[in-house]
Structure formats: C-alpha cells, structure tokens
Amino acid sequence: MQTYSRHGKLVRDRIPQIIRKDGAEPVTYTADREEYRSRLRDKLGEEVAEFLEADEESAPEELADVLEVVRALAADLGIDADQLEKTREAKACARGGFADRIVWTGNR
C-alpha cells in the first residue's frame, strides 16, 4: 500500500464550509480512492486514540467519531450499515459479545 504525505488530513465533509464561515479560506483537494482508504485507516487510529484519552463526559462524542469512520470504511468496502450490523450480529451469535465482562488469562 502506498503511503501518503502527512501534509493534510481527512476531515468531515462540512469542515471547509465551517472554516469559510469563520472567515478563512481552506485549501483542500479530493483524495483518490486509494488515498481515501489509507487516510480513513489513519483517521480510525486517530479517533480511537482520542476516545481512549477522553473523560466520561466527552467519551460519547469521541465514540460517535469512531463509529462515523467505521461506517465510512464499510461504505468504501461496499458494505452498507445493515450488512455491517448483520455481520456483527452473526459474530456475536457465534462467539458472543462483551456484556459479561469476561477476561481470559490463559489455559490450564
């Protein structure tokens, strides 16, 4: 996979509009498909890191950012939200979820 310049970052679609409203003129370009996928993966890491650093008050917003990136990655892979949920449900049915808070420490 090709690596891209660290100059710039993937931002939400309305960010340029918000910057203009604040009186500045953003410099942007549209990533090609390969760069977009790479930058989405980077963005996922960034958003997960922000969630891990968040306090209880800001955690829901940060978690929503993670979900937004996950949905964008799924769409890029041709998976719609319903398909993604069905895949999650099937995996939860086969292997369980995390509600029981089980911590595995190895085998005997």
Whole-model pTM: value is 0.85
In a domain, 65, yes or no: yes
In a domain, 58, yes or no: yes
The residue-averaged pLDDT of 50-76 equals 97
The residue-averaged pLDDT of 79-83 equals 95
Supply the pLDDT for residue 2: 55
In a domain, 67, yes or no: yes
In a domain, 71, yes or no: yes
How many domains, in total, are found in the chain? 1
Which of 13, 14, 6 shows the shortest CA–CA distance to 35? Answer: 6
In a domain, 3, yes or no: no
CA distance 57 to 48: 16
In a domain, 8, yes or no: no
Whole-Å CA distances, 7 to 19, 25, 54 = 18, 17, 25
* Segment 7-62, tens digit of pLDDT: 899 999 999 999 999 999 999 999 999 999 999 999 999 999 999 999 999 999 99
Contacts by 75-79, CB closer than 8 A, 24 or more apart: 76/33, 76/36, 76/37, 76/40
In a domain, 107, yes or no: no
In a domain, 4, yes or no: no
User: In which domain, by residue range, is 52 found?
Assistant: 15-95
Look at residue 4 and tell me whether its pLDDT is greater than 80.
no
Give the CATH number of the domain where residue 57 resides. 1.10.287
